[in-house]
Amino acid sequence: MQNKKIVILGTGGTIAGVASQASNNIDYTAAQVGVSDLVGAIAGLNLIETEQVAQIDSKDMSFEVWTVLANRIQHHLMQNDVQGVVITHGTDTLEETAYFLQAVLNPSKPVVLTCAMRPASALAPDGPQNILDAVTVARHEGAHGVMVVCAGDLHSALDVQKIHTYQLNAFGSGDAGLIGFIEENTLNKVRNWPLAQQIQAQTATENIAFLNAVRAWPKVEIVMNYAGANGALVDALVALGVQGLVVAGTGNGTVHQALEAALLNAQAKGILVVRATRCTQGRVLPRVDDRFPSSNGLSPVKARIELMLKLMKITS
């Protein structure tokens, strides 16, 4: 295993960002440094191959980039001499990319996304250590599935969520907790690897073929419940031809009666409606009088991805 290579795919983000002053951690431009330069500056990394898949601020993540990324990951994972894949990514939509990749690829080898909260030009950039830690995870015996490494913590794609705007340790895994910690180039696990979904080995290839052929992804949007919410946004989205709606409800997925009326109207027209919660912890639990199915523990952004994949009939 140890003589196999790790492929590091670059997509941009703060980890590749540059500011005009080293002391400035905010006014930088993301996605400026190539992944080969980022990796080349880290001593002690052996048997590494790099590839620049995209160079974007992840707030601008697109279905096109996701499709290219899924293709390139699958290509590399299928090579016998590749042990795993690491992806450098912006923190802002990292949890969405991680969930998408897990749902589509369900890889039997490790796919580890990593990131940084300080640009590459910072006095003390966090990116190099995060890359090193991600490679440690990708080389770990038995590692598989899509995971996220940030600030020494290892998260599963299912549970990870960005929970802080500024601190280096910007991610949490809520009630599920971390898979483990990366300490001094060693992964110390505190729970099992996430369960693999029950999909066929060839499904990833089929899913990718389907993604490559799809002309337009389904229109699925997120609406939120809040004090004084009404149905105007939902009505407008229905008029625009939305195919699915995720409602980020309050508490246990509750929805203002005016918003609920509009969502019921949408549902009656055949639009798929899923109920998630705007709470960052906990899951929506079923109740006897539920009008909309729950997101099965998925956050609103992940429930949206799940709904798009369902509408495209992609297995996850």
Give the contacts of 239 (CB within 8 A, at least 6 positions apart): none
CB 248 within 8 A of CB 276: yes
**Active-site option among 14, 50, 97, 136:** 14
Q: Which string of DSSP letters, residue by residue, matches 74-121?
A: HHHHTSTTEEEEEEE--STTHHHHHHHHHHHH--SSEEEEE--SS-TT
Q: Near ligand SIN by CB under 6 A, which window of 57-65, 126-134, 251-259, 271-279?
A: 57-65
State how far the Cα of 71 lies from the Cα of 207, in Å rounded to an integer: 10
Using CB atoms within 10 Å of the CB of residue 75, give its burial: 0 to 12 exposed, 13 to 18 middle, 19+ buried.
middle
Restricting to residues 7-36, which ones interact with ligand SIN according to CB under 6 A?
12-14, 30
Nearest-approach distance from CB 222 to ligand SIN, in angstroms: 18
The smaller minimum CB distance to ligand SIN, of residues 58 and 173, is found at 58
State how far the Cα of 37 lies from the Cα of 35, in Å rounded to an integer: 5
Contacts with ligand SIN by CB under 6 A: the residue count is 12
The smaller minimum CB distance to ligand SIN, of residues 10 and 107, is found at 10
Q: Note whether 127 binds ligand SIN by CB under 6 A.
A: no
State how far the Cα of 13 lies from the Cα of 17, in Å rounded to an integer: 6
State how far the Cα of 165 lies from the Cα of 168, in Å rounded to an integer: 9
Tokens 């625009």 correspond to what residue?
Answer: 240
Q: Which of 92, 96, 153, 260 binds ligand SIN (CB under 6 A)?
A: 92
Q: Note whether 57 binds ligand SIN by CB under 6 A.
A: yes
Q: Which of 8, 70, 74, 90 binds ligand SIN (CB under 6 A)?
A: 90
Nearest-approach distance from CB 124 to ligand SIN, in angstroms: 15
The smaller minimum CB distance to ligand SIN, of residues 91 and 156, is found at 91
How open is the CA angle 201-206-209, to the nearest 5 degrees? 145
Nearest-approach distance from CB 78 to ligand SIN, in angstroms: 28
Q: Note whether 58 binds ligand SIN by CB under 6 A.
A: yes
Strands 82-88 and 48-56, sheet pairing: unpaired
Establish whether 14 is a catalytic residue.
yes
Nearest-approach distance from CB 49 to ligand SIN, in angstroms: 23
Q: Note whether 260 binds ligand SIN by CB under 6 A.
A: no
Nearest-approach distance from CB 75 to ligand SIN, in angstroms: 24
CA 54, distance to chain mean position in Å, is 16
State how far the Cα of 170 lies from the Cα of 197, in Å rounded to an integer: 27
Q: Note whether 122 binds ligand SIN by CB under 6 A.
A: no
Q: Which of 22, 59, 214, 285 binds ligand SIN (CB under 6 A)?
A: 59
How open is the CA angle 219-225-231, to the nearest 5 degrees? 65
Q: Note whether 182 binds ligand SIN by CB under 6 A.
A: no
In the complex, which residues of this chain contact ligand SIN (CB under 6 A)?
12-14, 30, 57-59, 90-92, 115, 117
Active-site residue set? 14
